[in-house]
Amino acid sequence: METKQAYVGMDLDTTGGEVVQAIIDAIKQDNKDAVVEDYMVYKKVKAPKQLVLRRETVEDLLGSDWEMDRIHIYMSSYFGFIKEWDEDQLIIHWENEE
């Protein structure tokens, strides 16, 4: 029996420009299996079982300081369960393996 892959992730508003691109690039850099789907007005970024967004990676890509609380401005929705969210990282994961 084939098992369906459980993805977690977030939808990001494309009007965020370079910040949203830095968030997407950070997710791709820190999550080797991350996938980006472009729906013109938003981008869906997803990964199997767990997705990590690290403040430090976003800052490196932006070349400036960035606060994790600012994700509220760009993330219109997420899917999965928030495991951790502090000033350094956001972790979304899937609790149920079945």
Each residue's pLDDT expressed in tens, for the chain with a length of 98 residues:
555 678 999 999 999 999 999 999 999 999 999 999 999 999 999 999 999 999 999 999 999 999 999 999 999 999 999 999 999 999 999 976 54
pTM: 0.91
Using CA atoms, how far apart are residues 37 and 25, in angstroms rounded to an integer? 13
Neighbours of 14 (CB within 10 A): 15
